[in-house]
Structure 1
Amino acid sequence: MIIQKSTNPRISSFDPENFSFGNTFIDHMIICEFEDGKWGDVKLVPYGQLPFSPAMMGVNYGQACFEGMKAYKDKDGKVFLFRPEKNFARINKSASRLAMPEVNEEMFLEGLKALVDMDRNWIPQGEGMSLYIRPLIFATEEALKARIANKYMFAIVATPAKSYYTEPVSVKISDFYSRAANGGVGSAKAAGNYAASFYPTKLAMEEGYDQIIWTDDSTHEYFEESGTMNVFVRINDTIYTPPTSEKILDGITRDSFIALANKRGIEMKIEPISVKTVVEAQKNGTLKEVWGVGTAVVTTVFQALGYKGEKLMLPKLSLEESFALTLQKDLVDIQTNKAEDPFGWRVLVEKNVLETV
């Protein structure tokens, strides 16, 4: 790995009590270029602009995918990643679906650890605080030709993070727009998936909702995801979540919630969830909770569902009553080293880069 430390670090001006998530970037980044059929050297360099042409194929033809993950700092200042091997596997799954070259484990995991170690002082401590990390792959070849590109870049950038949603949100159940279709790229973290979601979300927000629950493209009768999150539904004391498929992303937070629910002995059913079942459960009082999970948000509890012009309110539960909040606490306590990790999910980032540079 080639390491170039910043000569003008900005960490001294970083205020962990006052920063903007997604717009505040740490001092360094990882980059690696693919050309002539192979990846080159991994470089840890100062964060900054890169020279690209408007004819870059990733911009024109959408060959781009990414991951979302976090690093956490415990009360003693130790830094941990959470299940990074799952992100490594998923970015390669996405790259393969978009006909892009896969990255190797050393590039991804060692580059990730080196970056987090180098800029560990950027990781804020405290409730809801973390470092959000964005690995990505995109086509960089300069050519206006609708074909598989020959040049790519793998990069990792990161931004300090705090709680995403602080209050319960209202979501609209979509009866027209869908996030993904059969045979499409719904199971990949393709950049275009997010672009396509913005317009329907904008329409929902104009109706007074914060997000959308996406339904299937053929009938709009079944839940798939919610916004950029996997979705869970609790009816009585049973939790339901749709099975992953070529239309539903295999979320790492989703997988963790399922494991934690099983550990607690909560009945967990991975099966299709019909809109009709959820609406009927709300009407008869058996619908207890609906929530979304994802890396950035961890958990977002829904306070209301919009459907066919009606706003269906959900119960407001305490931490002790809520499965969503209980499982969220179980997860965050593991991530932040406040609890034992029986699953082996937590990965310590050793201090070594700064000592060898």
Structure 2
Amino acid sequence: MNSKSWRYTAEDLPQLSPFGSVLADRIAISRFEDGGWKSGGLIPMNDFRLHPGAHCLHYGSSCFEGLKAYRWDDDSIALFRPDRHIQRMQQSAAVLRLPIPDRDELMEMLVATVMDAMADIPPAPGTLYLRPILLGTDTNIGAAARPSESAVLYVMASPVGDYFAAGDRALRLLIQESARTTSQFGKVKTGANYASALGITLDARDKWGTDQILFCPDSDVQETGASNFVLIDDKTIITKPLCDSFLHGVTRDSVLQIGRDLGYEIQEKDFCVDDLLKWTQHGEAALSGTAAVLAGVGTMIHNEKEYTLSGGETGPNTQRLRKALVSVQRGTEANGHGWIKKLT
């Protein structure tokens, strides 16, 4: 593609804020009916019909994913770890007892969406964010104890810049010793989990000027409302081991693998708030996620006391790991883990 065909330049990235507010012109869509998936191809980004009695509107039978397509320096296009995101969406669908998306069909939908919106992909540090969404569509408002046997699956695309309004500024977190969501749904990427964290996050922002809440039920350090949480120092990366209570982040997995490649000791273990507060005296902390990438934490607040990490800035190890991850995503660093799907 000729560079003149691109819609956005680096100077246009402020126009793409807030994150996800600008959408591509079309979506890929498929419907599950009579026991099978039927592709609807690409349709205009517009309202589509959803019955007022649809299962998803009444009983929360919906899940989604988030992944990114990148425009590399040579103007080629690449997806980062789409297979793992498809696998996680299948896991979410299974927990919610929704029709499970077919792997190959969802991959085709992702590729078709990216190729259709290729001109919308901004240059670095921007990306094209992809949002596959699965909705249960049975029209029975008495079906609270029954799964939806029909569904619609579609993929949206959004050219984006930074996820956090803070940009490169280190984040402020409030430590909250309560759960983000119900334990059995913690690993499911469903809207209800985000809704349960929204109000308390907004209250903390108003009172403390925080960016996120770090949820620590019974002092067990888990994750924030939007990202996984990791501790980092010169030798070690520490994070909670995978369980049903929090999201199994693809970026989290990528950071841990890159950390191993760089020689860090990886410790997946439980740790408590007291351990975390002691860590602030010497170590770094960061949030990992598709949207957040790896965002440094500069301040944590607990019991109305502020704890500063890395002088209130993003720490050098966090910067090193983020740079290594972004280099793989953008093709400036070779990667032997098979994470890249080249489209052009």
Normalising by structure 1, what TM-score? 0.88
Q: 1:318 to 1:191 in 2, by over 3 A?
A: closer
> Shift of the alpha carbon at 1:151?
1.9
Amino acid at match of 1:124: P
Preserved contact between residue 64 and residue 191 of structure 1 (Cα < 8 Å): yes
Q: Distance in 1 between matches of 2:258 and 2:221?
A: 22
Amino acid at match of 1:186: G
Q: Distance in 2 between matches of 1:123 and 1:188?
A: 28
Partner SS for 1:204: helix
* Structure 2 spans left out of the alignment, 5+ residues: 1-5
Post-superposition Cα deviations, 1:87-106, rounded to whole Å, max 9, x if no partner, equal 11100000000010111122
Matched, 1:310 2:311: no
Matched, 1:155 2:149: no
Tell me which of 340, 343, 357 is aligned to 2:334: 340
What is the match of residue 299 of structure 1? 294
Q: Distance in 2 between matches of 1:73 and 1:329?
A: 17
What is the match of residue 267 of structure 1? 265
Percent identical pairs in the alignment equals: 27
Which residues of 2 match residues 168-183 of structure 1 at below 5 A? 168-175=170-177, 177-182=178-183
> Shift of the alpha carbon at 1:280?
2.4
Which residues of 2 match residues 1-357 of structure 1 at below 5 A? 16-17=12-13, 18-20=15-17, 21-126=19-124, 128-145=125-142, 146=144, 147-165=146-164, 166=167, 167-175=169-177, 177-182=178-183, 184-208=184-208, 209-216=210-217, 219=218, 221-234=219-232, 237-282=235-280, 285-286=281-282, 288-316=283-311, 322-350=316-344
Preserved contact between residue 223 and residue 275 of structure 1 (Cα < 8 Å): yes
> Shift of the alpha carbon at 1:301?
0.9
Preserved contact between residue 67 and residue 87 of structure 1 (Cα < 8 Å): yes
Q: Distance in 2 between matches of 1:329 and 1:13?
A: 23
Partner SS for 2:311: coil
Q: Distance in 2 between matches of 1:80 and 1:13?
A: 17
Preserved contact between residue 334 and residue 340 of structure 1 (Cα < 8 Å): yes
Count of residue pairs the alignment pairs up: 330
Amino acid at match of 2:203: L
Q: Distance in 2 between matches of 1:322 and 1:12?
A: 34
Q: 1:13 to 1:82 in 2, by over 3 A?
A: closer
Q: Distance in 2 between matches of 1:254 and 1:13?
A: 29
Preserved contact between residue 132 and residue 153 of structure 2 (Cα < 8 Å): yes
Preserved contact between residue 300 and residue 307 of structure 2 (Cα < 8 Å): yes
Post-superposition Cα deviations, 1:25-77, rounded to whole Å, max 9, x if no partner, equal 11211111111222112412222111123322101100000000000001111
Partner SS for 2:194: helix
Amino acid at match of 2:69: A
Q: Distance in 1 between matches of 2:62 and 2:70?
A: 27
* Structure 1 spans left out of the alignment, 5+ residues: 1-10, 351-357
> Shift of the alpha carbon at 1:281?
3.1
Please identify, of 296-305 and 34-43, the stretch whose mean Cα deviation from structure 2 is larger. Answer: 34-43
Amino acid at match of 2:185: V
Amino acid at match of 1:213: L
Q: 1:41 to 1:181 in 2, by over 3 A?
A: closer
Q: 1:43 to 1:132 in 2, by over 3 A?
A: same
Post-superposition Cα deviations, 1:282-301, rounded to whole Å, max 9, x if no partner, equal 3xx33x21110000110121
